[in-house]
DNA sequence: ATTACAGTTTGAAACGATTCACGGCTGGAT
DNA sequence: ATCCAGCCGTGAATCGTTTCAAACTGTAAT
């Protein structure tokens, strides 16, 4: 079927060992031989069989990436960053979506182990669960993306979500808002919990301010819209005067939801701020204030950490932590 | 290092062949033996080495996906659809971004060949180029995503972009617009060329209508914004009264660009329609009319076709063609 | 008692690359 | 002449799985 080193060796009148050397350590082979072998490779259209290479050499050339939802623009950017960085090393990225479901996460991790990936970048569905720790100890290099394992010990790249939550709510308070609502997904998602915690801390300095927490099932536009409608239907006295959403998708949804009844205006009646600063935040009906995360850089950094872990077996474990950045737009204007 | 079939065989007191059979054809093995081997597998934590499996068995369990830009929401959805469908078959998806660059496309295809992927789903940078045809003939199963190879012969899943362009412009004409502008990326992108062709056909029936073509380098929000600003700066007489953008990102950009000067209003002065109906189209400053493509279904269908091609070596080559759907919102209102 | 047969299990070959101990060659030093 | 050191190149062993012909077992039919 396909051309193997043996064929190439025959065509170039050398041994298979030499072909392998041309492929992997050209400097150890006489230039003339290299040229001859290369010519044979080109002529026959030889393509290295990575399975065999991997089997013998141990190492593979792919890394696994498991995110909560790759259709979410934030994760799409993270994936993009990882893919670009990996490509520079000649590595391929295997993509998996856990949809926040531990069973799907497990299925992907298992599949990736079978594929003998070099390592896994994981946005865990549940950091507290022992599964992540066990995985880390099972020998497969692991980097936590957008989170940090409580006990340390596993390299990770994260954004300080508590800080991000503080930034957002501090900004709302600064604008004179006092009746804050936090709209988020399930608190079991660490990012959500941390952003809420940040909100709480920002409120600590302002005793007369209140915080209402609205918990949803998922961080989607649709869920946000429902929450927005619910708020719009309330009497003005019971309505918050500012909403901090756990991500931009929710915020966009809230914007739609409040717009439907047409009574609550953003930012007049309701200041609104999201999280992630996805591309569309600035293009929303009312340009959306948000907290920016360097998504692409996060993906790239994760691959970087994995490469480090691969190079220096058991060396220092690094944690990269990006700082979030407040982006003010019309939705929190006066 | 890691546990192999040999270890499992020893632990269960059977031969390696039997272990393999338990793994691949449990029905050929006596139930009691299956149980014993399974127990050993669980106890030892055996994970099948896919490299070895692949080497011997020929087949692999991954498929490659090369798209123009996975951060583009349309392709992100396509990727999601592909990934979901592949996961159902226990297959993993390798993701690659060509960024419309033939050299990056080639690099990924080469990498994927080395990985011995089962097949490749490709959104080609250049369909006319012989490279795609050569690839298809090189033995690696190929499915064209969002396009169709002129000569046939390669399975493909596409959306009728000409039809989509017609829908969009026919709608603009119906709204009484006559000075239409088409804003698109490089015409070398087939999708762009087809949508433009559709626009032309729609115009054919209305002699007094005109079409201006504005060609950009890329289909991004930023490029759209520049184009929008340029249009906004024109005198009213030289301005189109409707714009059809080759995708929603451009349309969102145009919306931003025209808004900056504040003189051109959408849809009053300028009707605007995009393409793809990404999630944010309905949440834009002015909810955006668009042409919807079933992105996730496209990805799933592509995997489906690949599986068919894999099963029935050289059987009928199918082309799946989805129909685009017009979605009318405020941006093309009166 | 012999043969047939289906159901199980075995064990060695094969997949295609990498690795490494070893041998041949060349040319300069002794 | 002899020896040594560097280069180059060789080819068998190896990785972990699948495959398949052959061997084995016990039961049924003759």
DSSP SS3 for B23: helix
Q: Is the CB of B6 under 7 A from strand D?
A: yes
Specify the pLDDT at position A212.
97
| Domains of chain A with bracketed CATH | 5-48 (no CATH), 62-159+295-324 (3.40.50.2300), 161-292+327-332 (3.40.50.2300)
What residues of chain A lie within 8 A of the CB of B69, using their CB?
80
Q: How far does CA A266 lie from the centroid of its chain?
A: 30
Beta carbon of B23 within 7 Å of strand D?
Answer: yes
- In chain B the first and final C-alpha atoms are separated, in Å, by 70
**Nearest-CA distance A162 → chain B (Å):** 27
Are the C-beta atoms of A51 and A271 separated by less than 8 Å? Answer: no
Q: Are strands B142-145 and B120-122 parallel, antiparallel or unpaired?
A: parallel
Q: Is the CB of A18 under 7 A from strand D?
A: yes
Instruction: Considering any atom of strand C, list protein residues whose CB lies within 7 Å.
Output: A 1-2, 4-6, 16-17, 19-21, 23-24, 46, 48-49, 52-53, 55-57; B 13-18, 21, 28-30, 32-33, 52, 55-56
Cβ distance of B115 and A61 shorter than 8 Å: yes
Supply the pLDDT for residue B221.
Answer: 84
Tell if the CB–CB gap between A71 and B73 is shorter than 8 Å. yes
Q: Are B283 and A284 in contact (CB under 8 A)?
A: yes
Helical packing angle, B16-24 and B5-12, nearest 10°: 100
Instruction: Give A38 CA → C28 C1' in Å.
Output: 33
The bases of strand C with some atom under 7 A from any protein CB are 7-21
List residues bridging with B145 in a β-sheet. B157
Contacts of B71 in chain A (CB under 8 A): 73, 76-77, 79-80
- Closest nt to A53 (CA→C1')? C17
Strand nucleotide closest to residue A29 (CA to C1'): D8
Task: State the best of B71, B113, B281, B284 to mutate against chain A, taking most chain A CBs within 10 Å.
Answer: B71
* Contact residues on chain A for B94, CB-CB shorter than 8 A: 62, 92-95
CB pairs under 8 A between A and B: 157
Nearest chain A CA: its distance from B285 CA (Å) = 3
Q: Do A76 and B77 touch (CB under 8 A)?
A: no
Residue in B81, B3, B124 with CA at minimum distance from that of residue A70 = B81
Length of chain A: 334
pLDDT per residue of chain B (334 residues) written in tens, 0 to 9: 689 999 999 999 999 999 999 999 999 999 999 999 999 999 999 999 999 999 998 878 999 999 999 988 999 999 999 999 999 999 999 999 999 899 999 999 999 998 889 999 999 887 777 778 887 777 788 999 998 887 778 899 999 999 999 999 999 999 999 999 999 989 988 899 999 999 999 999 899 999 999 999 989 888 998 999 999 999 999 999 999 999 999 999 998 888 777 788 889 999 999 999 988 888 777 889 999 999 999 999 999 999 988 877 666 788 999 999 999 999 998 5
In this predicted structure, what is the pLDDT of residue B48?
92
Determine the 3-state secondary structure of A211 from DSSP: strand
- Residue numbers in chain A where pLDDT is lower than 70: 1, 313-315, 334
List strands edge to edge, sheet with B271-273. B210-215, B179-184, B242-245, B271-273
CB contact under 8 A, B71 and A76: yes
| A47/D22 CA-to-C1' distance in Å | 37
| Rounded distance between C-alpha atoms, residue B275 and residue B249, angstroms | 8
pLDDT at residue A313, as a whole number: 62
Helices marked H in B89-137: 102-114, 130-137
Q: Which of B69, B84, B114 comes nearest A50 by C-beta?
A: B114
Per-residue model confidence (pLDDT) at position B197: 97
Residue contact A50–B282, C-beta within 8 A = no
Closest Cα in chain A, distance from residue B318 (Å): 25
Contact A245, A213 (CB under 8 A): no
Of B70, B94, B286, which is closest to A94 when you measure between CB atoms?
A: B94
Indicate yes or no: CB of A77 within 8 angstroms of CB of B71. yes
**CA separation for the pair B205, B197 (Å, rounded):** 14
Out of B92, B282, B286, the one facing A115 most closely (by C-beta) is B92
Give the separation between CA A138 and CA A235, rounded to whole angstroms.
55
Enumerate the nucleotides of strand D whose atoms come under 7 Å of any protein CB: 7-21
| Phi, psi angle pair for B289, to nearest 5° | -70, 150
- A249: chain B residues, CB-CB within 8 Å: 279
Taking the C1' atom of every nucleotide in all shown strands and the CA of A28, the nearest one is D8
Q: Who among A80, A221, A285 is closest to B71 (CB)?
A: A80
Nucleotide D3 C1' to residue A27 CA (A) = 28
Helix (H, G, I), strand (E, B) or coil at B325: strand
pLDDT on residue B256:
83
Chain A residue numbers with beta carbons less than 8 Å from the beta carbon of B73 are 71, 73, 76
- Neighboring chain A residues of B80 at a CB cutoff of 8 Å: 69-71, 97
Nucleotide whose C1' lies closest to the alpha carbon of residue A14: D9
Sign of CA dihedral A26, A29, A35, A37: negative
Nucleotide nearest to B37 (CA to C1'): C9
């Amino acid at each position: 079927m396909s051309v193997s080193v043996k064929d190439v060796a025959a065509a170039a009148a050398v041994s298979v060992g030499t072909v392998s050397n041309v492929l992997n350590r050209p400097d150890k082979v006489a230039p003339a031989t290299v040229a001859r072998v290369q010519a044979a490779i080109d002529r026959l259209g030889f393509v290295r069989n990575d399975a065999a290479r991997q089997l013998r050499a141990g190492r593979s050339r792919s890394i696994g990436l498991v995110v909560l939802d790759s259709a979410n623009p934030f994760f799409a950017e993270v994936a993009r960053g990882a893919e670009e960085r990996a490509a520079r090393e000649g590595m391929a990225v295997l993509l998996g979506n856990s949809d926040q479901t531990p069973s799907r996460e497990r299925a992907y991790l298992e599949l990736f182990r079978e594929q003998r990936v070099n390592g896994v970048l994981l946005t865990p569905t549940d950091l507290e669960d022992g599964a992540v720790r066990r995985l880390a100890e099972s020998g497969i290099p692991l980097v936590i993306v957008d989170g940090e394992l409580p006990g340390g010990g596993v390299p990770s790249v994260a954004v300080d979500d508590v800080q991000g939550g503080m930034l957002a709510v501090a900004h709302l308070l600064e604008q004179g808002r006092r009746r804050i609502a936090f709209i988020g997904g399930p608190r079991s998602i660490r990012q959500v919990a941390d952003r809420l915690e940040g909100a709480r801390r920002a409120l600590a300095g302002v005793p007369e301010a209140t915080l209402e927490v609205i918990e949803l099932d998922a961080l989607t536009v649709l869920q946000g819209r429902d929450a927005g409608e619910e708020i719009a239907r309330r009497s003005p006295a019971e309505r918050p005067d500012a909403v901090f959403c756990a991500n931009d998708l929710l915020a966009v949804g809230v914007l739609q939801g409040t717009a439907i009844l047409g009574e609550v205006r953003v930012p007049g009646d309701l200041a609104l701020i999201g999280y992630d600063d996805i591309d569309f935040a600035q293009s929303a009906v009312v340009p959306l204030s948000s907290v920016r995360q360097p998504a692409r850089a996060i993906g790239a950094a994760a691959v970087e950490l994995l490469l480090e872990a691969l190079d220096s077996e058991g060396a220092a474990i690094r944690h990269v932590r990006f700082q979030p950045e407040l982006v003010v737009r019309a939705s929190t204007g006066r």
